[in-house]
Amino acid sequence: MTTIVSVRRGDCVAVGGDGQVSLGNTVMKGSAKKVNVLAKHQVITGFAGSTADAITLRDLFEQQLDKHQGNIVNAVIHLAREWRSDKVLRRLEALMLVANKEKTYLLSGTGDVIEPEHGVIAIGSGGNFAHAAAMALVENTELDAKTIVEKSLHIAADICVFTNHNQVIETLSSVDSAQEL
């Protein structure tokens, strides 16, 4: 169990997650990294669920990005199709959030490819708590995306026993792209 939340605000997207790994009611590790940047394609991934399954899906997603020259829309659609139709992959128990500078998606093994309506989406055991907190902060403050993710994860960790305060937050911004040129 875990909490992953993504917030898109202005020219920035932030994706963050906690570090708790639980096995049943036991905390096995508190510092897992469930949010990663695929630097080659400027994409952030975050996962909730079985770690081995999530890493497999992240690797398959990266292969799809390579195959589709970094086109995140084609990559998520093809991964979702493969995940749902393949006899082995459809047994994988995980959810993924993926984001680049323009788009954010949630992917599931049932074939869901969901783009958030208001630039906020969250998954995992504390996902509903983080989502509600992030929505309130987006609508009622001028905080940047990273700060909203940080505060939302903190609130989720205070409520959800499967979420801790050990956070990893990654950001992408169109301003970063302009500076790289």
Would the pLDDT of 162 be above 80?
Answer: yes
Judge whether 18 and 126 are in contact, CB under 8 Å. Answer: yes
The predicted model scores a pTM of: 0.92
Q: Taking Cα atoms as reference points, which of 151, 179, 178, 154 lies closest to residue 164? A: 154
Percent helix / strand / coil, the chain, rounded to 5 = 40, 30, 30
CA separation, residue 1 to residues 20, 52, 100, 123 (Å): 8, 13, 24, 10
Average pLDDT, the chain: 90
Strand partners, 15: 6, 170
Of the residues 2, 45, 104, 171, only one is catalytic, namely 2
Would the pLDDT of 157 be above 90?
Answer: yes
Parse the chain into domains and list their residue ranges. Answer: 3-171
Would the pLDDT of 163 be above 80?
Answer: yes
pLDDT in tens, 41-75: 999 999 988 777 888 889 999 999 999 999 999 99
110 is catalytic: no
Class of domain 3-171: alpha beta
Q: Taking Cα atoms as reference points, which of 56, 52, 6 lies closest to residue 172? A: 6
pLDDT tier, 175 (very low <50, low <70, confident <90, very high otherwise): low
pLDDT tier, 176 (very low <50, low <70, confident <90, very high otherwise): low
Helix axes 127-140, 145-159, angle to 10 degrees: 140
What is the spatial distance between Cα 13 and Cα 44, in angstroms, rounded to a whole number?
Answer: 9
What confidence score (pLDDT) does residue 52 get? 77
What confidence score (pLDDT) does residue 73 get? 96
| Burial category of 43 from C-beta neighbours within 10 Å (exposed 0-12, middle 13-18, buried 19 and up) | buried
pLDDT tier, 167 (very low <50, low <70, confident <90, very high otherwise): very high
